[in-house]
Amino acid sequence: MKAFVFPGQGAQFVGMGKDLYDTNPKAKELFDKANDILGYSITDIMFSGTDEELKQTKVTQPAVFLHSVISALCANEKAEFDMVGGHSLGEFSALVVAGALSYEDGLKLVYARAMAMQKACEKKPSTMAAIIALPDETVEKICAEVSTDDNIVVPANYNNPGQLVISGDIEAVNTACAKLTEAGAKRALVLKVGGAFHSPLMQPAKDELEQAINNTEFHTPSVPVYQNVDARAHTNPEEIKSNLIAQLTAPVRWTAEVNNMVAAGATDFTECGPGKALQGMIAKICKGNDAVTYHGLEI
């Protein structure tokens, strides 16, 4: 069985999507429609902007979404799939490709999400850090010991065995990194991100996005959609909406999500979108399982 998976923020690069725009009429039409919906030329930034322009959350998220969705929609007709999933932002891409959201509504929600998250980031300085080569349980325990109501640090992204990203207030993240290094982490690397994604500090963004999601029409997807909040497959539109809302302040359970896809029969993972980050994660999650293959999308 085939699974289409979609990357999140951080996969972007200047020039992404330009070849597709220049050579595929359907892609050009979809990119041009996105410029109209957003009210500015995001393609100019994607194709020839600067790294700094592209790194802004309000630009990054719709840019990665557009590259991912348009790539999948313009893939050859043999690119069929039996299930979908996405990492954080990528979950919106997955929902559009599976037919649970229209292209237009998906883009509007992603832009609303990006703007709400950027505002939350500006409201309170915060950060994230990647913890390498420690058991998840150790990271969870130390975060719980360090975190307080006023100085939060929590597990945010369960990317693959031995890589867990933490998120929260700058002081709490730095304290946790020091303790995790003492506990034997190979690396505790503070990331260059705008804020504490997938933590309680995103509550203002969650409140804002909830209204937008509840005002958007969702449909039953054509295939099961595996969601980050519980790592399980969903087809019920109301469940999908509820999980999307919860996702902003809850951890991304990517390791469990991939394992659940494999348990459901997935043997072929195709990453749709910029970069190869998910392929690397899947390789580590499925290490030793020769039945599982992973690759990028052929268009």
Q: Which residues have a Cβ under 8 Å from the Cβ of 186 and sit 6 or more positions away?
A: 132, 133, 134
| Confidence at residue 123, expressed as pLDDT on a 0 to 100 scale | 87
Q: What percent of the chain lies above the pLDDT cut of 90?
A: 87
- pLDDT at 248 > cutoff 90: yes
pLDDT digits (tens, 9 = 90+) for 250-281: 999 999 999 999 999 999 999 999 999 999 99
Reference 38, options 86, 107, 91, 102; nearest CA is 107
Mean pLDDT of 122-147: 95
| Confidence at residue 152, expressed as pLDDT on a 0 to 100 scale | 96
State whether residue 297 is helix, strand or coil.
coil
Mean pLDDT of 204-228: 96
Which residue numbers are catalytic?
88, 198
Mean pLDDT of 40-63: 91
Mean pLDDT of 190-200: 89
Mean pLDDT of 169-174: 96
Contact 62, 38 (CB under 8 A): yes
Q: How far apart are CA 181 and CA 297, in angstroms?
A: 37
Domains of the chain: 2-121+200-296 (3.40.366.10), 126-190 (3.30.70.250)
Mean pLDDT of all residues belonging to the chain: 94
Tokens of 78: 């043999």
- pLDDT at 77 > cutoff 70: no
Q: Are strands 163-169 and 2-6 parallel, antiparallel or unpaired?
A: unpaired
| Confidence at residue 215, expressed as pLDDT on a 0 to 100 scale | 96
- Global pTM reads 0.95
Confidence of residue 158 (pLDDT cuts 50, 70, 90): very high
Cα 120-124-127 angle, rounded to 5 deg: 90
| Confidence at residue 78, expressed as pLDDT on a 0 to 100 scale | 62
Q: How far apart are CA 134 and CA 177, in angstroms?
A: 12
- pLDDT at 11 > cutoff 90: no
Confidence of residue 56 (pLDDT cuts 50, 70, 90): confident
Residue reference for tokens 């945010």: 156
| Confidence at residue 116, expressed as pLDDT on a 0 to 100 scale | 94
- pLDDT at 76 > cutoff 70: no
- pLDDT at 185 > cutoff 90: yes
Q: DSSP state, 252? A: B
- pLDDT at 194 > cutoff 90: no
Mean pLDDT of 110-130: 92
| Confidence at residue 102, expressed as pLDDT on a 0 to 100 scale | 97
Contact 101, 186 (CB under 8 A): no
Mean pLDDT of 36-43: 95
